[in-house]
Amino acid sequence: MSSDSVDQAWLATCPKGLEQLLAQELQALGAESTKETVAAVHFEGTRELAYRACLWSRLANRILMPLHQFMLNEEDQLYQECLDIPWEEHFSAEQTIAIDFIGTSRLVDNTMYGSQRVKDAIVDRIRREEGERPNVDTKNPDIRIQVRQHKGQVAVSLDISGESLHRRGYRSGQGSAPIKENLAAALLLRAGWPEMMKNGAALLDPMCGSATLIIEGAMMAADIAPGILRERYGFSDWKQHDQELWQTVFDEALQRKADGLEALELDFRGYDANPRVLEFATLNIEKAGLDEHIRLAHKPIDQFGKATADYGLLITNPPYGERLGDFDGLIPIYQKLGSVLQKNFQGWKAGVFTGNIELGRETDLTPTKQYKLFNGTIPCKLLMFEDLTSRSAKIEQRLNTPAPAQVLTEGATMVLNRLIKNQRKLNKWLNKTDTSCYRLYDADIPEYSVAIDIYEDSVHVQEYAPPGTIDDRVARERFAEVKQAVKEFASEVDGQIHYKERRRQKGDNQYQRFNEGPSQTMVVYEGEAQFEANLSDYLDTGLFLDHRPVRRMVAELAKGKRLLNLFCYTAAVSVQAALGGAKSTLSIDMSNTYLDWAQRNFDLNKLSAKNHHLLRADCLKWLEMDGEQYDVIFLDPPTFSNSKKMDSVLDVQRDHGDLIRNSMAKLAPDGVLIFSNNFRKFKMDELTLRQFDCENITPQTLDMDFERNPRIHNVWKITRRSSFG
């Protein structure tokens, strides 16, 4: 059987954040057994598939063929293991080589030294087999070899792509801050361009720079292989290269390009305020062979008129302070962009890629979706807008809705007026925050004792348990009036309204699901984090909104440190800490439901399980047994729990002293314990106050939407006393 028809292992590398898209792309090319890892995807397939991946991948940086993998237990082992690889099967002494050595360890803590040792092994092996040695050419080698060490494991691979695949071959010039071609392709994929182009959509970039986004979009639409202009690949001088097979793959791509260009009738336009940059863009477009299909014009953003088509995608990568100018100087650019979109591009989709979410808010638009990506090492977001009505206009429209045909009751009118007042008060704060979920109303009118939260465009209403002095019939009537008011307030909201009534119930009924039908979940945003919220099934949604500042605080404390999260619920605190740079997190809860939910939150944020662990355990028992220490501990027990899964009943007022002392025993020197609870009459144990430095930091943990209810939670910062006396 020909080696060309035999599946073997390959590895495709990519920018961080593109792993899922790359896996899908490789599967579409025919890859099997794909497995995502950080900034790479393992896959299996034939040599033809590897050739196709080099030619057709719009997202990969490199395609590697693994040759050998081993654990590095002693320094000399690196040389010996590489000496044993049959390099003569891949190249000869007449060819030049380059070694890319990535990663350091205790044994090999310098990449230049590691590269030198691998080079020595390769040269000695070829000299032994052929009598001569190959030369090194770091700039333009015939053969490129990658050696990566991570956690003591060394992987040696042949780089069959050559220079990075993001270099398509069409870029003749560029502006001062271009995005790489494979990142541009990823933005278009996330924006839904492949589906839109099938429906005849136009593509426009109002700040196109060197036209990378427009060129990549046109290449997709014309079915042009991204690597078709490259003159050589890493496999070009490989001994096992099958030129006939490659020529077949390449000729097919040439024919697809010819057919695609002939059928291409879409409208592609790029604009920029800098005429010098447009000269580079023109050269790039001509080099890509797309000069008959892409139009360029010198036009500042504020000079845009009506869109040239009824339907299309406007996508752009404006400056965001990390690269050009300062923050204040860039605000007008985003404001003008938002104004142009609202005024002239209704009916279009828009995508704004930015490394500064604060600037993104200056568009006065609410993102329909957000995607976290990286521009080099800079964390960025692609903000997608499908409704180009301004945020402020939506709110004003909702607040100024004419009186309903059906007259509200006096109580419902009173609640509605309070909702409108609260919303107006919160608007300015919301425009500056990095969250899509907030509390609008919290029993502001005592007779209408409910909490009303906004989750994106949906409304979540929870009834507080009425006191025993209130007749059940009266409580039902008041909740009906709340429903009236909320329905009227949210009449312009596209999302759903979810009501949770706390009725007087006995036994296990109080813990049953509210919804017996399909779960209704959504992804919500808080800073850089994404969380799964469930507004339908349970009383709580999976995200305690009042803990938003606490999550920020813990994330800041845990940078580069070990975090223990006890009674973790859906592990939102751990997710924020992990995204904020925590060295490791351990999240513990008794509930499989919550731990599965926590895992989905980790997966949403692409957080590796290597450093961030979930554990099902009774926290009370676990604290008595575990011997590890942690730099930061977050302790947020329930107010009361008599779960059958626990060996004892937990009462936070009665038991918090022992719970804190057991937690402090796990705290590393100079560590910090953040203790939180929701018992409104909570009083800190006197012995605990004498034993430790205990600071009530509750006022620091209330964002504006919870300032009306300062008793929503208690938060304490607890450390060991520096001295006794």
Instruction: Judge residue 649's burial from the number of C-beta atoms within 10 Å of its C-beta, 0-12 exposed, 13-18 middle, 19 or more buried.
Output: exposed
Kindly state the average pLDDT of the residues 480-484.
93
Kindly state the average pLDDT of the residues 151-169.
94
| Distance separating alpha carbons of residues 560 and 406, to the nearest angstrom | 58
Q: Per mean pLDDT, which of 338-342, 453-457, 522-526, 534-538 is the most reliable?
A: 338-342
Q: How confident is the model at residue 725 (pLDDT cuts 50, 70, 90)?
A: very low
Kindly state the average pLDDT of the residues 687-704.
95
Which of 252, 230, 290, 226 is closest to 59 using CA atoms?
226
Q: Is the pLDDT of residue 549 over 50?
A: yes
Which of 44, 41, 35, 8 is closest to 22 using CA atoms?
41
Answer positive or negative: Cα dihedral of 514, 518, 524, 528: positive
The predicted-structure confidence for 356-401, as pLDDT tens digits, reads as follows: 887 888 888 888 888 888 888 888 899 999 988 776 666 666 666 5
Architecture in CATH of 3-159: 2-Layer Sandwich (3.30)
pTM of the model: 0.63
Instruction: Judge residue 286's burial from the number of C-beta atoms within 10 Å of its C-beta, 0-12 exposed, 13-18 middle, 19 or more buried.
Output: middle
Superfamily of domain 181-222+264-389: Vaccinia Virus protein VP39 (3.40.50.150)
Kindly state the average pLDDT of the residues 294-298.
95
Integer-rounded Cα Rg, in Å, for the chain is: 30
pLDDT score for 510: 36
The residue that leads in pLDDT, 510 or 49, is 49
Instruction: Judge residue 177's burial from the number of C-beta atoms within 10 Å of its C-beta, 0-12 exposed, 13-18 middle, 19 or more buried.
Output: middle
Can you name the residues that pair with 158 across neighbouring β-strands?
Answer: 65, 145
Kindly state the average pLDDT of the residues 427-443.
85
pLDDT score for 514: 56
393-511, what's its fold? Transcription Regulator spoIIAA (3.30.750)
pLDDT score for 553: 97
Q: How confident is the model at residue 450 (pLDDT cuts 50, 70, 90)?
A: very high
Domain spanning 544-720, CATH class: alpha beta
The predicted-structure confidence for 598-624, as pLDDT tens digits, reads as follows: 999 999 898 988 899 999 999 999 998
pLDDT score for 406: 56
Give the DSSP per-residue string, 35-71.
EEETTEEEEEE-HHHHHHHHHH-SS-SEEEEEEEEEE
Q: Is the pLDDT of residue 74 over 80?
A: yes
Q: How confident is the model at residue 150 (pLDDT cuts 50, 70, 90)?
A: confident
Domains 3-159 and 181-222+264-389 share a fold: no
Q: How confident is the model at residue 1 (pLDDT cuts 50, 70, 90)?
A: very low
Kindly state the average pLDDT of the residues 143-165.
94
Residue whose structure tokens are 């279009």? 348
Give the DSSP per-residue string, 591-647.
-HHHHHHHHHHHHHTT--TTTEEEEE--HHHHHHH----EEEEEE---SEE--TTSS
| Distance separating alpha carbons of residues 472 and 385, to the nearest angstrom | 45
The predicted-structure confidence for 5-26, as pLDDT tens digits, reads as follows: 678 999 999 998 899 999 999 9
Contacts of 116 (CB under 8 A, 6+ apart): none
- Burial letters for 241-275: b for 16+ Cβ neighbours within 10 Å, e otherwise? bbeeebeebbeebeebbeebbeebebbbbbbbebe
pLDDT score for 175: 58
The predicted-structure confidence for 562-583, as pLDDT tens digits, reads as follows: 999 999 999 999 999 999 999 9
pLDDT score for 9: 95
Q: How many CB atoms lie within 10 A of CB 395?
A: 18
Sorted by where each begins, the domain ranges of the chain are 3-159, 181-222+264-389, 393-511, 544-720
pLDDT score for 724: 45
Residue whose structure tokens are 């333009």? 140
Q: Is the pLDDT of residue 691 over 90?
A: yes
Tell me the pLDDT of the chain averaged across its residues.
89
Instruction: Judge residue 308's burial from the number of C-beta atoms within 10 Å of its C-beta, 0-12 exposed, 13-18 middle, 19 or more buried.
Output: exposed
Kindly state the average pLDDT of the residues 51-55.
98
